[in-house]
């Protein structure tokens, strides 16, 4: 029997019996008892017990599908000492996934229904001295969802986004659970069951903490903090609470009454050290310690004034972020849950992914509405790393019910989430949903009765808006992504004068990459292009005979109908066809990088019109062909290397303009910059001539034309190669531009040479070439990433790369050298 550990001290009045740890797992429908670690999920327990194979391998998705059609029960014993019981008890369970009945000592004491909520059940008088048994019985979510959908007065279609590979589909709009658990157009369908959040029995003398929120009002040299604490009191009485921050402590004795009590305290921080997004300044954090009679919570507060500026301008309306008075262009990507198997979402995994975002010069991540509200450590990491968060509420791509019961449940969910997260400096925007407005035009049912579904939509949307206005008035609510504004239900996939844009015509409608330059978004919050996941990742889920783009296994690991064909067909448009499977995988990543580079370089160059680009998507939930720039597991695909360059704060990009190629300087810093731009017309035979070499100036936070090269200067086999240096002569970057598709160039068979050396003990890889070589990419079979990749190498120049191993790893020079692999475009055919 597991013995529960009590925390807190008897004197303080607060203590906890932790319920995390070893539980047993059974099913009324199956034989056997297994162990399960909670917080955790059933799939992980069954994998560990050898009951199911790796769901990510081959086509095992269907092999393990029975798991989510089975009801599961978890159970454990715990002991309570007299000291654990001399107060009021709360059973706190959060992220219970999903519909469950909770039995304490065989008595049904509570039910859960919503994986996005924290449940606090009164367990006073129900926990016995000595041995207790807690049992949680989970229903089969898909069956409950179906029954609810059938009982609803009119049909509400669920998203068909994930119905590839013969999947049955789940009415995910009738249950509050991570929508992509049922699969998505990049996601496996596992429909996991489990508990992923806090699990404890909390003993309070009279009251417990519910939430602590911190509002900031910025003055000239000080910040006023308003700390709003919600307590739940079981009885009337007096309690003592304190808040300590920056060397100041407020202690207050208050009389509480049964139910919710709201306390407000004010503090002034003088000479505040301001928090800035990545690339704009530091991220100082002040620790706020709240102590309610021994129940201690800690929050880290970044002091910054954040505004989302939506104002009329000569185009239509701005859509931009202003931090501490400075307009800042958002650069980043969309985030989906870090793994399809919830137990695998851990702090180190998430930290690694977010650090890769920062390494690619990103300053914003959008947490997409078909995934989850992320755990506390996610937002702590973003505060620490300077990543702003566009936070969707969890609704995506379909209509949801708007009856009283559903809205009441969502009201609690969203109120709790806003109260949990609002103190974080990183949260920039609350957004109602992902693509729900647009989805009204996707389904036969919604198209046949648009008034009904629009009215249904507005009930939820207006409730979400009111919650944000009431709970976090300093932050903006944005109705949907994409949206054109308040009560504006027009097409956010093409209008580019206001609001945020999802531009999908290049991937989903097979338009050319140049089509990205036909739209001029104010803020592009989604656009993407797929590639295959890297070869070493493909090897983890295939047998050698599966390594073919139209094999059943590769098609199973492509969840967007026709996706592999789209990748291959696009290759025919831009490249010569690759020689074999491995080269095709590599070329697919070149192609993906090129598509997104085309979009982002152009949109950034239109600044201040466009003040944000978030490509779809940064991560994967399992190994799959997708739009992600990081492989499942965190390895950098070529797009991620290219993102680091196209998101450079001081960048120079080529934009075709009729008969010219315009070289535009982009400056995202708050100071003006002077760069010396050197432009060469280079030929694939290795010859080049300088056509421009001049100093140019780019104002603070601006884009400016630095040079204009007539296209007529470029003959057959020519391309532009340009580099720029700062005032101190230091190289700031290099870039190139091919006026025609690569397939039209007779690329030479370049021999790229790599030499390792050691600089201050760190391994450095020097690359040279005898002829021009493109998208030169070094890789090693070790976790980590190079300082750069997907490089253009010209003869007579040396490019040096360093390798950053993942935390904790210390690769030997031998391991680096023996696993080094170089690839480049010419080698693919």
First-residue to last-residue Cα distance in the chain: 63
Distance CA 421, CA 418 (A): 5
Q: What is the nearest approach in angstroms of ligand BMA to the Cβ of residue 479? A: 15
DSSP letter (8 states) at residue 825: G
The whole-angstrom separation of Cα 596 and Cα 657 is: 19
Give the pairing of strands 295-301 and 784-786. unpaired
Instruction: Verify binding: residue 185, ligand BMA, rule CB under 6 A.
Output: yes
Residue 172 contacts ligand BMA per CB under 6 A: no
Question: Nearest Cα to 481, choosing from 325, 616, 662, 671?
Answer: 616
Packing angle of the helix pair 450-471, 404-421 (nearest 10 deg): 30
CB of 616 to ligand BMA, least distance (A): 5
Asked if 397 is part of the footprint of ligand BMA (rule: CB under 6 A), the reply reads: yes
Looking at residues 520 to 539 of the shown chain, list those that interact with ligand BMA (rule: CB under 6 A).
526
**Contact indicator for 541, 553 with CB cutoff of 8 Å:** yes
Tell me the C-alpha distance between 517 and 514, whole Å: 6
Binding mask 487-516 for ligand BMA (x = CB under 6 A): ---------------x--------------
Q: Are 675 and 668 in contact (CB under 8 A)?
A: no
For the chain, what's the residue count?
A: 829
Residue 184 found at the interface with ligand BMA (CB under 6 A) = yes
> Is residue 435 a contact residue for ligand BMA (CB under 6 A)?
yes
**Nearer Cβ to ligand BMA (272/528):** 528
Is 616 a binder of ligand BMA (CB under 6 A)? yes
Beta carbon of residue 559, minimum distance to ligand BMA (angstroms, whole number):
9
Pick 370 or 479: Cβ nearer ligand BMA? 370
Tell me: does residue 433 bind ligand BMA (CB under 6 A).
no
Q: How far apart are CA 424 and CA 380, in angstroms?
A: 7
Number of chain residues interacting with ligand BMA (CB under 6 A)? 11
- Listed ranges 178-186, 414-422, 656-664, 806-814: which one lies at the site for ligand BMA (CB under 6 A): 178-186
Cβ 747 to ligand BMA, closest distance in Å?
32
Q: Distance of CA 480 to CAs 339, 383, 458, 760, Å?
A: 25, 24, 11, 50
Question: Which CB sits closer to ligand BMA, 439 or 701?
Answer: 439
Which listed range, 184-192, 450-458, 466-474, 661-669, lies at the site for ligand BMA (CB under 6 A)?
184-192
Helix axes 347-359, 376-385, angle to 10 degrees: 30
Q: Which of residues 71-90 bind ligand BMA (CB under 6 A)?
A: none
> Smallest distance from the beta carbon of 519 to ligand BMA, in angstroms?
15
Q: Minimum Å distance from CB 643 to ligand BMA?
A: 18
The verdict on 478 binding ligand BMA (CB under 6 A) reads no
616 versus 745: smaller Cβ distance to ligand BMA: 616
The reply on whether position 339 binds ligand BMA by CB under 6 A is no
Q: Give 437's contacts (C-beta < 8 A, 6+ positions apart).
A: 457, 479, 480, 482, 483, 489, 492
Burial of residue 131, with CB atoms counted within 10 A of its CB: 0-12 exposed, 13-18 middle, 19 or more buried: exposed
434 binds ligand BMA (CB under 6 A): yes
Site string for ligand BMA, 112-131 (x = CB under 6 A): --------------------
For ligand BMA, give the closer residue by CB, 42 or 397: 397
Q: Choose between 397 and 684: whose C-beta lies nearer to ligand BMA.
A: 397
Give the pairing type, strands 194-195 and 96-97: antiparallel
What is the rounded CA–CA span in Å between residue 314 and residue 312? 7
Q: Does 186 bind ligand BMA (CB under 6 A)?
A: yes
Asked if residue 390 binds ligand BMA (CB under 6 A), the reply is: no
**Could you tell me the smallest distance in angstroms from the CB atom of residue 771 to ligand BMA?**
39
d(CA 453, CA 434): 16
Q: Which stretch binds ligand BMA (CB under 6 A): 129-137, 170-178, 180-188, 728-736?
A: 180-188
User: SS in 3 state form for 351-407?
Assistant: HHHHHHHHHCCCCEEEECCCCCCCCHHHHHHHHHHCCEEEEECCCECCCCCCCHHHH
Chain contacts with ligand BMA (rule: CB under 6 A): 161, 184-186, 370, 397, 434-435, 502, 526, 616
């Amino acid at each position: 029997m597991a013995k529960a550990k009590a925390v807190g001290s008897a004197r303080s009045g607060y203590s906890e019996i932790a319920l995390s740890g070893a539980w047993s797992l059974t099913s009324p429908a199956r034989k056997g008892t297994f162990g399960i670690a909670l917080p955790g999920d059933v799939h992980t327990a069954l994998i560990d017990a050898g009951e199911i194979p790796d769901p990510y391998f081959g086509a095992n998705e269907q092999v393990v599908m029975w798991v989510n059609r089975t009801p599961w029960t978890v159970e454990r014993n715990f002991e309570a000492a007299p000291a654990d019981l001399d107060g009021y008890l709360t059973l706190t369970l959060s992220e219970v996934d999903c519909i469950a009945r909770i039995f304490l000592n065989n008595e049904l004491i509570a039910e859960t229904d919503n994986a996005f909520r924290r449940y606090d059940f009164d367990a006073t008088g129900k926990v016995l001295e000595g041995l207790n048994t807690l049992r949680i019985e989970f229903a089969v979510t898909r069956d409950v969802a179906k029954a609810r959908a059938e009982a609803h007065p009119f049909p509400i279609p669920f998203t068909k986004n994930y119905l590839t590979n013969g999947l049955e589909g789940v009415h995910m709009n009738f249950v509050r659970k991570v929508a992509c658990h049922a699969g998505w157009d990049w996601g496996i369908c596992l429909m996991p069951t489990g508990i992923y959040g806090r699990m404890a029995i909390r003993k309070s003398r009279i009251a417990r903490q519910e939430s602590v929120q911190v509002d900031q009002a910025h003055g000239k040299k000080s910040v006023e903090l308003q700390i709003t604490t919600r307590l739940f009191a079981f009885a009337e009485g007096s309690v003592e609470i304190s808040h300590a921050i920056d060397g100041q402590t407020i202690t207050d004795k208050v009389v509480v009454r049964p139910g919710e009590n709201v306390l407000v305290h004010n503090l002034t921080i003088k000479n505040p050290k301001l928090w800035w997004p990545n690339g704009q300044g530091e991220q100082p954090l002040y620790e706020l310690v709240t102590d309610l009679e021994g129940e201690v919570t800690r929050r880290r507060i970044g002091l910054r004034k954040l505004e989302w500026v939506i104002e009329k301008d000569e185009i239509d309306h701005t859509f931009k972020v202003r931090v501490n008075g400075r307009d800042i262009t958002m650069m980043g990507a969309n985030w989906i849950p870090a793994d399809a198997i919830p137990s695998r979402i851990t702090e180190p995994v998430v930290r690694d992914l977010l650090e890769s975002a920062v390494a690619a010069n990103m300053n914003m991540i959008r947490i997409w509405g078909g995934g989850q509200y992320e755990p506390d450590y996610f937002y702590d990491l973003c505060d620490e790393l300077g990543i702003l968060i566009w936070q969707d509420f969890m609704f995506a791509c379909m209509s949801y019910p708007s009856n009283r019961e559903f809205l009441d449940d969502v009201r609690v969910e969203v109120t709790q989430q806003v109260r949990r997260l609002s103190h974080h400096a990183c949260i920039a925007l609350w957004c109602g949903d992902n693509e729900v407005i647009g989805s009204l035009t996707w389904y036969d049912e919604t198209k046949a009765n648009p008034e009904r579904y629009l009215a249904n939509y507005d009930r939820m949307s207006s409730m979400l808006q009111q919650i944000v206005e009431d709970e976090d008035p300093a932050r903006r609510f944005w109705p949907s992504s994409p949206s054109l504004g308040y009560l504006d239900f027009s097409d956010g996939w093409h209008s580019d004068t206001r609001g945020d844009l999802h531009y999908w015509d290049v991937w989903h409608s097979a338009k050319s990459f140049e089509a990205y330059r036909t739209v001029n978004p104010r803020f592009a919050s989604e656009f993407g292009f797929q590639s295959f996941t890297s070869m070493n990742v493909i090897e983890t889920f295939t047998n050698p005979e599966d390594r073919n783009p139209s094999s059943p296994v590769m098609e199973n690991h492509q969840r967007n109908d026709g996706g592999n064909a789209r990748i291959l067909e696009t290759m025919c448009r831009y490249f010569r066809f690759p020689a074999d499977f491995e080269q095709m995988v590599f070329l697919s990543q070149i192609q993906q990088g090129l598509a997104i580079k085309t979009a982002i370089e152009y949109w950034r160059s239109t600044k201040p019109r466009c003040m944000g680009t978030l490509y779809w998507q940064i991560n994967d939930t399992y190994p799959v062909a997708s739009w992600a720039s990081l492989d499942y597991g965190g390895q950098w695909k070529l797009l991620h290397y290219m993102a680091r360059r196209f998101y450079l704060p001081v960048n120079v990009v080529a934009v075709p303009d009729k008969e010219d190629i315009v070289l535009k300087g982009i400056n995202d810093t708050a100071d003006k910059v002077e760069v010396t731009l050197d432009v060469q017309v280079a030929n694939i035979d290795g010859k080049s001539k300088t056509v421009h070499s001049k100093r140019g100036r780019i104002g603070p936070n601006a884009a400016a034309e630095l040079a204009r090269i007539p296209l007529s200067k470029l003959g057959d086999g020519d391309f532009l190669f340009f580099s720029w240096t700062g005032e101190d002569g230091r190289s700031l970057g290099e870039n190139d531009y091919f006026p025609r598709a690569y397939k039209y160039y007779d690329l030479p068979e370049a021999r790229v040479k790599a030499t390792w050396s050691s600089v201050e003990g760190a391994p450095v890889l020097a690359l040279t070439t005898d002829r021009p070589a493109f998208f030169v990419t070094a890789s090693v079979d070790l976790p980590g990433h190079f300082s750069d990749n997907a490089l253009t190498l010209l003869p007579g120049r040396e490019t040096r790369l360093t390798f950053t191993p993942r935390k904790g790893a210390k690769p030997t020079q031998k391991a680096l050298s023996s696993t080094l692999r170089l690839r480049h475009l010419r080698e693919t055919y």
